[in-house]
């Protein structure tokens, strides 16, 4: 069964069904549980809006340790391309000194946004900073910050759904879609 949808001027088809996404989120939650369940501190998930909200919601329901959630808003995309310039619109407004931070991203491509986030968060003096992403494009990644928690590695295709958008639409889709060749 091939599902196609139209968003703005483009047609997309299912690339990754919801069931496969859910299984990948469960696997990364298991890794986080192994690393943080015995922690004496309550880690903070730092969700990068807007794309990571669906991933974060499913992830925190699958982790078995106490946690806090904070939101930051940055943007670096126009249409289907990264601008290479990160704009921060919302930051953390409470003390995270000495705390473990887990940046939650929808997708890590070049790493420009992650580099910006890590640099910003380091100024807040946390104990540690790790990155947790739903999708990682290792062929495009240009920075040193390790991506410790990755649910899925993908190629260089432009994807939408499950929080990821195409000019602000498509975030609500439960599956991941890729541009159709038709």
Q: What is the mean pLDDT of residues 11-26?
A: 96
Confidence at residue 51, expressed as pLDDT on a 0 to 100 scale = 87
Task: Choose between 139 and 182: higher pLDDT.
Answer: 139
Strand order in the sheet with 4-7: 4-7, 10-16, 176-179, 159-160
For residue 19, pLDDT beyond 70: yes
Instruction: For residue 55, give the nearest of 114, 108, 134 by alpha carbon.
Output: 134
Confidence at residue 40, expressed as pLDDT on a 0 to 100 scale = 86
Burial class (CB in 10 A: 0-12, 13-18, 19+), 4: exposed
Of 14-28, 61-75, 127-141, the one with minimum mean pLDDT is 61-75
* 143-169 per-position pLDDT tens digit: 989 999 999 999 999 999 999 999 989
Confidence at residue 1, expressed as pLDDT on a 0 to 100 scale = 46
**pTM (2 d.p.):** 0.88
Q: What are phi and psi of 125, to 5 degrees?
A: 60, 50
Q: What is the mean pLDDT of residues 172-177?
A: 95
For residue 113, pLDDT beyond 90: no
Q: Which residues of 68-98 are buried (b: 16+ CB within 10 A; e: fewer)?
A: eebbbebbbbeeeebeeebeeeeebeeebee
What does pLDDT average to over the chain? 89
CATH 3.40.50.2020 fits 23-154, yes or no: yes
Q: What is the mean pLDDT of residues 128-146?
A: 95
Ramachandran quadrant class, 9 (left: phi over 0; alpha: psi -120 to 50; beta: rest): alpha
Tokens of 45: 């998930």
For residue 171, pLDDT beyond 90: yes
Distance CA 162, CA 85 (A): 24
Residues 6+ apart with CB under 8 A from 6: 12
Tokens of 148: 């410790």
């Amino acid at each position: 069964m091939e599902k196609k949808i139209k968003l703005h001027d483009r047609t997309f088809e299912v690339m990754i069904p919801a069931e496969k996404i859910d299984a990948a989120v469960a696997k990364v939650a298991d890794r986080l549980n192994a690393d943080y369940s015995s922690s004496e501190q309550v880690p903070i998930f730092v969700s990068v809006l807007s794309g990571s909200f669906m991933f974060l919601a499913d992830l925190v329901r699958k982790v078995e340790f106490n946690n806090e959630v904070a939101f930051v808003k940055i943007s670096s995309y126009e249409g289907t391309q990264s601008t290479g310039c990160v704009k921060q619109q919302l930051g953390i407004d409470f003390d995270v000194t000495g705390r473990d931070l887990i940046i939650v991203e929808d997708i890590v491509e070049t790493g420009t946004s992650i580099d910006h986030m890590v640099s910003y968060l380091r100024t807040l003096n946390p104990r540690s900073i790790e990155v947790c992403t739903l999708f990682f494009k290792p062929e495009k990644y240009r920075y040193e910050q390790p991506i410790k928690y990755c649910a899925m590695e993908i190629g260089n295709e432009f994807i939408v759904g499950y929080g990821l958008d195409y000019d602000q639409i498509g975030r609500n889709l439960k599956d991941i879609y890729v541009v159709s060749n038709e």
